[in-house]
Structure 1
Amino acid sequence: MATEAEYRPFRQDMDAAARYLSIHPPLPRHLTTKFFTNMLYLQHWMRYTEVGFLIHPSVHLPTPGLKVADVACGTGIWLIELAKQVPKDAQLEGFYISSAHFPPKDELPENVKLGYMDMMQSVPENLLAQYDIVHVRGVVLYVFNDDPSELLANFMVLLKPGGYLCWDDLDLAAHNPKTSDPNVSHEIADKIEEFGRMWFKTQGLPFSWLRSLDTTLTSHGLEALVPHSQTVSNAGARPWTLMQPMANRHFFENDINTMCEAGKMPPGSPSAEEWREMSEGLIEECREGVRLLMDIVYIVGRKAVEQK
């Protein structure tokens, strides 16, 4: 069990998070975009610290002429980091539904290009079978009714024969509050998890597909390699817990609050004010030692090499 002296710095960090959340009313759209951009950077570095790689070591990187696509690239930071690890002649292309989170072009490495693509729509013909590696991350909220088949088909057609699909995501169904002290309450954290899962299910987002993603890849003709799931480590508990109030705020302002105001929340759901109160209570529980951890799921799938 942690001592008071060990808890004190974390409590100070949670106090800073609480001040941020309390002094800012609902953010204007341009600040919401910046807020989300910063959160994308933070999540990238936290994931990288946990798994220890950008591309799993089992993936063969062909040289020369490596071509990589990052779908749902967000800020492009994954490609920017990858550019430091691959030959300069590698072509690294990121796609996202909005350029709002892209850095200026003059801040990108010369071999990194970012552009528009809606992964829910048909892939443009000029991108078919073009990539040795397709990386996908952070699409868990776009897989409805536990069926990733439509998205998976779009990812697969981007691959060259023998290419690799590298997919990692957060298992939001395995997002559980933890504490090393049995005397520390996590009642509010449990309530937020309960209501959050209920809301996700009403939106067709039960998340159980993540646990059988290797089977899904195999059924679609990919060779499933290194299916892996890991809980955020104790060493990573602090940054992940500090990040969660920020993620909750974004989720509340952009989804929960809007549906509360429109009267579209499922029966038995908290009101908008009750969500705010729970968010404040969650910060207090974290100050007392609750940690908000989740599982990171990672899998590699290889496309078959065409027979001559």
Structure 2
Amino acid sequence: MASEKPQESVYYLKPGDEERARLNNQHRVLVHIIENELLHAPIDPSTIVKIADVGTGTGIWLDALAAHLDPIPTAIGQPRQYDGLDMSPAHFPAFHPENFHYDVYNILQPVPEGLKGKYDLVHVRLLVSALSKGDVNTAVDNLAQLLRPGGWIQWDELDGESWAGRVPSAHVREMNELVRKHMETKGMELDVPAAFVKAAEAHPRLQNVSERIFNTIKSGPELKDDVNSVYLWSCTTSTKMILQASGTPGAEEEFKRLSEGAKADIERDGIFWDSDEHVLLAQKK
């Protein structure tokens, strides 16, 4: 789902139109889950002039935010600026408005001087499975450096723990356990939302830390098939990569058994993938 640290990440993002389409559909589903709110209270839209989207991918979140914000005048009367930052330019849009800019930046690397204190809002989404333990502290500190005083971090993140025991499919549970063990072996952060709250509350330049939790099932039955598709893709893609990397004899057959079994379980039993999406906020002092 994210690509901030590909050498350790469970998920893998490929270049190409098909992958862009998948990422854009994933955006639509995830925004629906959080009640179609791109900005969350108490962020005041009129104060948001310069925006950075870290791990921007195709830039679709910036496009959606601009459509939401542009009818709202800024408090200082200046036009808004939208910057998409990602460690890979593979999915950057070829064409975009003049007030959009895309650049390469990895949130775990030192913040360039030209970006320090620049933004009113820094948005992050879906770095689960891309961060090792301790990386969240580094990411939070770098995000804080990107902000001007009074600016906000908004981090939309999946709970890598919540659905492990809440999807009634033996095949899904097997895949989840495989992914969990892999992440633990690699020293990766399993609970990014909790790590964010802890890091932000301890940070000397951050205040007003908050968390809202949204559940997939509560998003409504009309989203069931799309939610299942997004989450099953993540689960099976992670499993496939781990099995392939293991070099275990029969890995391909094992992946086929698990992935086809999970799909059959969901279709046969009418399963609605039960998971949580967290919206995490912190304001710079």
Q: TM-score range by the shorter chain?
A: 0.7 to 0.9
Secondary structure in structure 1 of the residue aligned to 2:264: helix
- The percentage of aligned residue pairs carrying the same residue is 25
What is the CA-CA distance between 1:33 and the residue it aligns to? 4.1
Cross-structure match for 1:104: 94
Note the residue ranges of structure 1 that are not aligned, 5 or more in a row: 1-28, 180-184, 264-268
Cross-structure match for 1:135: 123
Cross-structure match for 1:247: 234
Query: Would the alpha carbon gap of residues 30 and 128 (structure 1) be closer, same or farther in structure 2, given more than 3 Å must change?
Result: closer
Cross-structure match for 2:75: none
Cross-structure match for 1:26: none
Cross-structure match for 1:274: 254
Q: 2:208 aligns with which of 206, 213, 224?
A: 224
The answer on 1:79 being equivalent to 2:62 is yes
Q: Which has the higher mean CA deviation after the structures are superposed, 70-79 or 212-221?
A: 212-221
What is the CA-CA distance between 1:154 and the residue it aligns to? 1.1
RMSD: 2.6
Matches within 5 A, 1:177-192: 186-192=169-175
Cross-structure match for 1:156: 144
Cross-structure match for 1:93: 83
The answer on 1:287 being equivalent to 2:267 is yes
What is the CA-CA distance between 1:295 and the residue it aligns to? 0.9
Q: Which has the higher mean CA deviation after the structures are superposed, 203-212 or 279-288?
A: 203-212
The answer on 1:237 being equivalent to 2:224 is yes
Specify the code of the residue in structure 1 equivalent to 2:212. Answer: H
Specify the code of the residue in structure 2 equivalent to 1:175. Answer: W
- 2-structure distance, mates of 1:86, 1:103: 20
Cross-structure match for 1:16: none
Specify the code of the residue in structure 2 equivalent to 1:281. Answer: G
The answer on 1:120 being equivalent to 2:101 is no
The answer on 1:256 being equivalent to 2:237 is no
Q: TM-score, normalising length from structure 2?
A: 0.82
Cross-structure match for 1:48: 31
Matches within 5 A, 1:186-205: 186-205=169-188
Query: What is the aligned residue count?
Result: 261
Query: Would the alpha carbon gap of residues 104 and 164 (structure 1) be closer, same or farther in structure 2, given more than 3 Å must change?
Result: same
Rg comparison, structure with higher value: 1
Q: Which has the higher mean CA deviation after the structures are superposed, 242-251 or 85-94?
A: 242-251
